Amino acid sequence: MEWSRFVRRTEWDRERAEEVEQYIEIETADNLARGMPPAEARSAARRKLGNPALIREEIYRMNTIGFMETFWRDMRYTLRVLRKSPGYALVAVLSLALGIGANTSIFSLVDQVMLRTLPVRDPARLVLLHREDGLAGTAVEDNSESVFSYPMYLRLRDDGRAFSGVIARAGTAVTILYQANAESAGADLVSGNFFGVLGVRAAAGRLFTTADDDAPMAHPVVVLSHAYWVKRFAATPAIVNRTVHLNGFPMTVIGVSAAGFNGISPGNMPDIYVPITMLGAAVPTWNALDNPRFRWLNIMARTSAGIPFEKTRAAAVAAYRAALNAELARPGVHASDAKAYRNARLELRAAAQGINELRKNNQGALLALSAMVGLVLLIACANVASLTIARATARQRELRIRLAIGARRWDLIRQLLLEGLTLALAGGTLGLLVADWTTRTLLRMLPQDLAGDWVTAGLNPWLLAFTFATALLSGLLFSLVPAIQATRPDLAGALRCGAATAPPTGTVWLRKVVVTAQVALSLVLVVAAGLFGRTLFNIARIDLGFRPQNLLTFKVDASRSRPNLADSVAYYADLKQRISTVPGVTGVGAASGGPFSNSNHSANITLEGYHPPKPEDEVDVQEIAVNPGFFAALDIPVRAGREFSERDGAAPKAVVANEAFVKRYCSGRNPLGLHLMFGGSNHPVLDREIVGVVGDSRGTSRDPAREALYFPLSQWDKPSSLMFYVRSAGDAGLLGPSIRAVARSADANVPLWEMSPITLLIGDSIYVERLLAMLSVAFGALATLLAALGLYGIVAFTVARRTAEIGLRMALGALPGDMLRMVVLEAARLALAGIVIGSAAALALSRLVESQLFGVKAADPVILTCAAALLALVALGAALAPGLRAARIDPMSALKYE
């Protein structure tokens, strides 16, 4: 009703006008009837009524919504004012657009990597089961979180006390053969109730039910992920009920999961879902379904609605305890495990985001980036604030006049704030464009699987809300203080001063504070640029221990279709032989868990004559199966003894150690001829002999080489995928097609995947360092530029303001050099204050990014000194031009000017 008054008031006003007219008519008629002369009759009627305009205005205002009225009036004025100073508006909007756009862009990464919840029904009710005990797990491929055995999963699922649903998954890789085309694909082994409990719908066909999962190898069915369906099968619905071959097993495609659902482990995108009971097909070398000692499944559960969390937790712990006791009761439990069983604890972890590998891997870098863009925005705000103060100073006459003719101070502050917010919103809007461009540029710097599958550019309501909230906050930040400052009541008294004379010192003081802050913030960013730049430099030129140039790598896993180990090994030897004949190939290495293969096999060994400091300590090493020629192909130097050759068959058992191993475990003894065994025993049989020592090589750029033992593929007992390293005489990338061709001729059903020059793998593996380095350098440069502009502005302004004073001083005998020194010293004082504050801030903040650094300390004195020197130089440069202007002031004209 009240709003309708506001809307209807124009109509009412017309009515009222008419009514008032009528009053005059009637009153005039009455007056005439009383015998007044016509002219007097009318004016007497008007007198009786009073001022009709005032009456109408009073009624009009009765129906006013005060805030809206003033807002529109202020807004119109604001637009008029900003149109009059397009330069100021443009600079302000542009710097804010850069600052806000950068923040929006980084926030979109943060949002997608760290904040997004799984696209499933009610994700907030999902929990991940996490156990705390010493029981070893068995990784299939990617399950870094807690893992449980399949029997344990079944017990927890069937207990039913704690949860409304319990699901399990494990990731692996399989070969999918369809229409004579074999490809490696990511597979999630999932429980039959997986989709049902999550509430994921089918995009085509149907999804698994518990009936698809009730007995081992009974239901050869698969579900495709939406993305894989589109990519591999052109999104054809006809694929439903067709057969694909999974590691050679015929499996029926029963459906496609909903678009947007990419499994429950962001960072690991499954192409295909397979019932856990089909493990024999997915991982043919493995029989883990019945064995409680194989722990390999992630377990997630949905809590029941309306049950307090504590109760759920207690019920889950009870169920786990009961399951453990049942397992303990089975015969043949190892004594060492029994203790761990009794101490086992279960935790429930919130899993609305799933098992977020993305978050785990990128969190530190993203937080560092967020902090840096935050600083950039602060600097941009400081810059605009500084402009706004300068402008408020220039507008003082206007402000004083408005105060003098009765404007309240709040009216002026409101007006100035509105101008700021208008600029900020314009900056925010333009910032959306900047953000879009920046995000696309950032995505090009990310590894392809990350950028393509998990992080995309694009707007959503969250992002919009973030952008405009940031804009409003920045608007307040840069306009509130100047507004309060510029409208200080004592300024009103200064109305009598002329326009050209000095503005009050308060605003200059404020600008100095802003410039000092800018210098300080810039220093922090320059230090960050130094640290991250140094990190990238260190990590990019780290000695990897092998020669990465002209080295092509790919992965292959023959064990998927050849469960018999000897068959796989024979295939690998054949493949190696065929690749060696490709023109341009000068060496072929193959290894399980070699450099940059992302796989890592650890083993516990017993070494002749070595006793660990504590008897219960395990002698932990990395075990790597390699083919003869591996060290030569990678250019890993042989330091002593020999490397493997074709003559190393199944026996005698030979191993090659790396230097880290020799250093740690041989303690001065000659490693050659030492005997050892894999594993431990009360009656060890040291069946392997060290026949050679090779140089250390790193598995990734960041991690130093671990103690490693190499052994020949021919003596291998744990089949898994291999990485091949093909050394070429020229560009490694050119070998791809020929290698694929010879691999097809070896066995068309064994796919090669992830084929890439190793230099690209290395590049992708340090994308975080590269991103941080490039962005911090860009931000540091931008910040320094803005600080230089700010410093120049304030110094030039002071020189202009003090023209008369300088003229007077020079007339009294000061030398131009004195004036130059005076001006430069003033700038130096500001810069020095900023540098001191910034150094303290940089020391405090850089500790937070220590984990992102490599080969450089957070408090690196050289970097800090260089950053300080850089800013000091920049400050000097910024002050030099106005300083020289001061030195050239002609006393006569300066005094006349006054």
Partner 1 sequence: MAIKDRQPLAGEMLQGTLDLLILQTLVLGPAHGHTVAHAIERRSEDVLQVEHGSLYPALHRLQVRGWIASFWGTSENNRRARYYRLTPAGRKQLAEQTSHWDRLVRAVNQVLRPVAE
CB of 415 to partner 1, least distance (A): 21
Whichever of 67 and 817 has its CB closer to partner 1, that residue is: 67
Strand partners, 676: 607, 688
Q: CA 519, CA 379: separation in Å to the nearest integer?
A: 9
CB of 420 to partner 1, least distance (A): 25
Whichever of 2 and 703 has its CB closer to partner 1, that residue is: 2
Site string for partner 1, 680-699 (x = CB under 8 A): --------------------
Whichever of 54 and 812 has its CB closer to partner 1, that residue is: 54
Positions 41 through 100 that interact with partner 1 (CB under 8 A): 48-52, 54-55, 58-59, 61-68
3-state helix, strand, coil in the chain (%, to 5): 55, 15, 30
Whichever of 9 and 801 has its CB closer to partner 1, that residue is: 9
CB of 15 to partner 1, least distance (A): 7
Whichever of 45 and 777 has its CB closer to partner 1, that residue is: 45
CB of 410 to partner 1, least distance (A): 17
DSSP structure string for 156-183: HHHH-SSEEEEEEEEEEEEEEEETTEEE
By three-state DSSP, how is residue 518 classified? helix
Q: Torsion-angle region of residue 308: left (phi > 0), alpha (psi -120 to 50) or beta? A: beta
Q: CA 798, CA 509: separation in Å to the nearest integer?
A: 11
Residue from 10, 14, 19, 445 in contact with partner 1 (CB under 8 A): 19
Whichever of 63 and 749 has its CB closer to partner 1, that residue is: 63
Angstrom CA distances, 464 to 100, 367, 433, stand at 11, 20, 12
CB of 418 to partner 1, least distance (A): 19
CB of 38 to partner 1, least distance (A): 16
Whichever of 11 and 310 has its CB closer to partner 1, that residue is: 11
Instruction: From 25-33, 260-268, 681-689, 848-856, give the range in contact with partner 1 by CB under 8 A.
Output: 25-33
Q: Does residue number 352 form part of the binding site for partner 1 (CB under 8 A)? A: no
Instruction: From 10-18, 396-404, 555-563, 856-864, give the range in contact with partner 1 by CB under 8 A.
Output: 10-18
Whichever of 56 and 409 has its CB closer to partner 1, that residue is: 56
Residue from 10, 14, 25, 115 in contact with partner 1 (CB under 8 A): 25
CA atoms within 13 A on the CB side of 386: 28
Positions 415 through 434 that interact with partner 1 (CB under 8 A): none
Q: Does residue number 27 form part of the binding site for partner 1 (CB under 8 A)? A: yes
Whichever of 8 and 342 has its CB closer to partner 1, that residue is: 8
Instruction: From 17-25, 211-219, 454-462, 876-884, give the range in contact with partner 1 by CB under 8 A.
Output: 17-25
Q: CA 471, CA 427: separation in Å to the nearest integer?
A: 7
Which tokens belong to 615? 């008897």
CB of 24 to partner 1, least distance (A): 9
Q: CA 857, CA 846: separation in Å to the nearest integer?
A: 9
Angstrom CA distances, 546 to 229, 590, 595, 682, stand at 40, 14, 9, 38
Q: CA 755, CA 464: separation in Å to the nearest integer?
A: 40
Contact 626, 589 (CB under 8 A): yes
Instruction: From 14-22, 318-326, 644-652, 878-886, give the range in contact with partner 1 by CB under 8 A.
Output: 14-22
Whichever of 70 and 138 has its CB closer to partner 1, that residue is: 70
CB of 26 to partner 1, least distance (A): 5
Q: CA 782, CA 874: separation in Å to the nearest integer?
A: 13
CB of 47 to partner 1, least distance (A): 9
Whichever of 28 and 550 has its CB closer to partner 1, that residue is: 28
DSSP structure string for 459-497: --HHHHHHHHHHHHHHHHHHHHHHHHHHT-GGGGGGGGS
Place of tokens 């597979």: 187
CB of 65 to partner 1, least distance (A): 5
Q: CA 818, CA 58: separation in Å to the nearest integer?
A: 66
Q: Does residue number 16 form part of the binding site for partner 1 (CB under 8 A)? A: yes
Whichever of 23 and 753 has its CB closer to partner 1, that residue is: 23
Place of tokens 């003596």: 715
Query: In this structure, what DSSP letter does residue 802 have?
Result: T
Which tokens belong to 409? 């101070």
Pairing, β 638-641 against β 249-257: unpaired
Burial class from Cβ neighbours inside 10 Å (0-12, 13-18, 19+) for residue 543 reads exposed
Residue from 10, 14, 15, 334 in contact with partner 1 (CB under 8 A): 15
Which tokens belong to 105? 């862009």
Q: How many CB atoms lie within 10 A of CB 818?
A: 15
Whichever of 65 and 848 has its CB closer to partner 1, that residue is: 65
Q: Does residue number 122 form part of the binding site for partner 1 (CB under 8 A)? A: no
Site string for partner 1, 731-770 (x = CB under 8 A): ----------------------------------------
Number of helices (H) and strands (E) in the chain: give both, helices first: 27, 21
CB of 9 to partner 1, least distance (A): 10
Residue from 2, 11, 310, 703 in contact with partner 1 (CB under 8 A): 2
CB of 22 to partner 1, least distance (A): 5
CB of 7 to partner 1, least distance (A): 12
CB of 303 to partner 1, least distance (A): 44
Q: Give the number of residues in contact with partner 1, rule: CB under 8 A.
A: 33
Q: CA 575, CA 555: separation in Å to the nearest integer?
A: 12
Q: CA 608, CA 593: separation in Å to the nearest integer?
A: 25
Instruction: From 18-26, 337-345, 682-690, 857-865, give the range in contact with partner 1 by CB under 8 A.
Output: 18-26
Mark 737-755 as b/e (b = at least 16 C-beta within 10 Å).
eebeebbeebbebbbbeeb
CB of 66 to partner 1, least distance (A): 6
Q: Does residue number 28 form part of the binding site for partner 1 (CB under 8 A)? A: no
Residue 704 dihedral angles phi and psi, to the nearest 5°: -65, 155
Q: CA 472, CA 493: separation in Å to the nearest integer?
A: 33
CB of 476 to partner 1, least distance (A): 23
Residue from 10, 14, 29, 237 in contact with partner 1 (CB under 8 A): 29
Residue 248 dihedral angles phi and psi, to the nearest 5°: 90, -15
Whichever of 3 and 84 has its CB closer to partner 1, that residue is: 3
Q: Does residue number 3 form part of the binding site for partner 1 (CB under 8 A)? A: yes
Whichever of 23 and 610 has its CB closer to partner 1, that residue is: 23
Pairing, β 722-728 against β 551-556: antiparallel
Is residue 38 within a helix (H) or strand (E), and if so which, with residue range?
helix 38-49
Pairing, β 654-658 against β 722-728: unpaired
Instruction: From 23-31, 186-194, 349-357, 443-451, give the range in contact with partner 1 by CB under 8 A.
Output: 23-31
Angstrom CA distances, 836 to 514, 785, 842, stand at 15, 19, 10
Q: CA 277, CA 282: separation in Å to the nearest integer?
A: 10
Residue from 18, 310, 543, 616 in contact with partner 1 (CB under 8 A): 18
Report the amino acid identity of residue 750.
Answer: V
Residue 355 dihedral angles phi and psi, to the nearest 5°: -95, 90
Burial class from Cβ neighbours inside 10 Å (0-12, 13-18, 19+) for residue 345 reads exposed
Whichever of 48 and 311 has its CB closer to partner 1, that residue is: 48
Q: Does residue number 12 form part of the binding site for partner 1 (CB under 8 A)? A: yes
CB of 16 to partner 1, least distance (A): 6
CB of 67 to partner 1, least distance (A): 7
Task: Using CB under 8 A, list all residues that contact partner 1.
Answer: 2-3, 5-6, 12, 15-16, 18-20, 22-23, 25-27, 29, 48-52, 54-55, 58-59, 61-68
